[in-house]
Amino acid sequence: MVFVYHLGLLGSVAPCVLYGSNVERLAAAPGTFANSCLPYTGLYMLGNSLFGWNCLAPWFSHPTRTAIRRRYNLEGSFEAFTRQCGCCGGLAEDEERREHLEVACDLATHYFCHPCALCQEGRELRRRVPHPGFYGRSVVVMMPPTEQTMGRTM
């Protein structure tokens, strides 16, 4: 059985499930879902109960964004910003400093736009990586029957 769901709804209602699914796809190994979903859920609930909003889980989940960006050589937020405005190019003169700024931008993206960041990562991973739970399973394709008539043949 395959479940189809809208990522925006999942990211808003159950971000822990979307985060766990993203990490499982990124790790390409079944079983990592629970190992990432449960700590995320704890931080999510703790942040909501103590501060009234999800302010702790983004600190836990932003390294996933960095890993996706590195693995697929994607343009980061800082790189996109400097390309658009052209004003901050001098801040990142060497590769190490540029990477530190990109990690800071990844954290800011998760902190201020957390559900959107999770959805964006989910879409990117779904495009590039099949779900690890489906490896080795055969896929059944149902073919409709040929055209049939209801009349009798003699």
Residue-level pLDDT at 28: 74
The reply to whether 140 falls in a domain is no
Total domains, the chain:
1
Residue-level pLDDT at 95: 80
Residue-level pLDDT at 76: 84
The reply to whether 144 falls in a domain is no
Q: pLDDT, tens digit, for every residue of 39-81?
A: 999 999 999 999 998 899 999 999 999 999 999 998 888 777 7
The reply to whether 50 falls in a domain is yes
The reply to whether 137 falls in a domain is no
The reply to whether 14 falls in a domain is yes
The reply to whether 20 falls in a domain is yes
The reply to whether 123 falls in a domain is yes
Which residues of the chain, if any, have pLDDT below 50? Answer: 1-4, 136
Residue-level pLDDT at 133: 61
Residue-level pLDDT at 1: 36
Please work out, in degrees rounded to the nearest 5, the angle formed at the alpha carbon of residue 64 by the alpha carbons of 18 and 4.
Answer: 25
Which residue range forms the structural domain that includes residue 86?
7-130
| pTM: predicted TM-score of the whole model, two decimal places | 0.76
67-91 b/e with 16+ CB inside 10 Å = b?
A: bbbeeeeeebbbbeebeeeeeeeee
The reply to whether 40 falls in a domain is yes
